[in-house]
Chains A and B, each alone.
Chain A
Amino acid sequence: QVQLVESGGGVVQPGRSLRLSCAASGFTFNNYAMYWVRQTPGKGLEWVAVITYDESVKYYADSVKGRFTVSRDNSKNTLYLQLNSLRTEDTAVYYCARDRDRYQYGYPCDHWGQGTLVTVSS
């Protein structure tokens, strides 16, 4: 079955960096666009970034553009999110998720990981 397992979260000071990973299994990883979505108690669900199956397209939310970088290693079935210049408002649970349509992007996410908590605090 499809499994997505995030890791890399933790407590970090403002201005520092963190790298999240998402290990995928149970499907052909290099056929699907992948997303990062975050959730905070105050702002609910917020889409963060998307990367197409072949890395040809990457989009970011304005709130993270220029600070976060999404990437993938199809040989390792792993999705990444590099978080730089972290701010307190980046505190959230970060989920990786899979597009429901093969080879497409911009569609709903039909499988989600369990999330990893990032806390930005001094």
Chain B
Amino acid sequence: EIVMTQSPVTLSVSPGERATLSCRASQSVGSNLAWYQQKPGQAPRLLIYYTSTRTTGSPARFSGSRSGTDFTFTISSLQSEDFAVYYCQQYNEWPLTFGGGTKVEIK
């Protein structure tokens, strides 16, 4: 099973600042990596797939990149609605696995 490790667990950021979240895969997943956002009491929402492709409705301030088995999710300028938990997920092989999440909180 591919283990996805996210860091940091919690990220404190001020509105308007840049946020950078990391996700590392225990083995190659190619570019088959997605990012989800989850707010309290809500289901996860798909933001990015195939490392860097934004879904319809995902704001342009969200972006993703890859370097080998290391993936980065960036929010260029945090808005109030962006404070949430973010999960990465690999879909390169079964079982599909998620990272433990990064909580982005207001500084």
- A and B bound? yes
What are the interface flags for B37-52 relative to A under an 8 Å C-beta threshold, 1 for contact and 0 otherwise? 0000011111001000
B62 at the interface (CB under 8 A from A): no
Contact B49 A108 (CB under 8 A): yes
Which residues of B13-46 are within 8 A (CB) of A?
34, 36, 42-46
For chain B, which range describes its interface: under 10, 10 to 19, 20 to 34, or 35 or more residues? 20 to 34
Contact A108 B94 (CB under 8 A): no
Which B residues are CB-close (under 8 A) to A46?
A: 98
Measured between alpha carbons, how far is A112 from B37 in the docked complex, in Å?
12
Measured between alpha carbons, how far is A95 from B46 in the docked complex, in Å?
14
Which A residues are CB-close (under 8 A) to B83?
A: none
B73 at the interface (CB under 8 A from A): no
Given contacts A46-B98, A47-B97, contact A107 B49 (CB under 8 A): yes
Which B residues are CB-close (under 8 A) to A107?
A: 49, 91
Measured between alpha carbons, how far is A44 from B38 in the docked complex, in Å?
11
Tell me the minimal C-beta distance from A25 to chain B in angstroms. Answer: 16
Contact B91 A45 (CB under 8 A): no
What are the interface flags for B52-90 relative to A under an 8 Å C-beta threshold, 1 for contact and 0 otherwise? 000100000000000000000000000000000001010
Sample 22 A-B pairs with CB under 8 A, ordered by A number: A44-B87, A44-B98, A44-B99, A44-B100, A45-B87, A45-B89, A47-B96, A47-B97, A59-B94, A59-B95, A61-B95, A95-B43, A100-B55, A106-B91, A106-B94, A107-B49, A108-B36, A108-B49, A108-B89, A108-B91, A112-B43, A114-B43
Shortest beta-carbon contacts, A-B, top 5: A112-B43, A108-B34, A45-B98, A47-B96, A108-B49
Binding site for B on A (CB under 8 A): 44-47, 50, 59, 61-62, 95, 97, 100, 106-110, 112-115
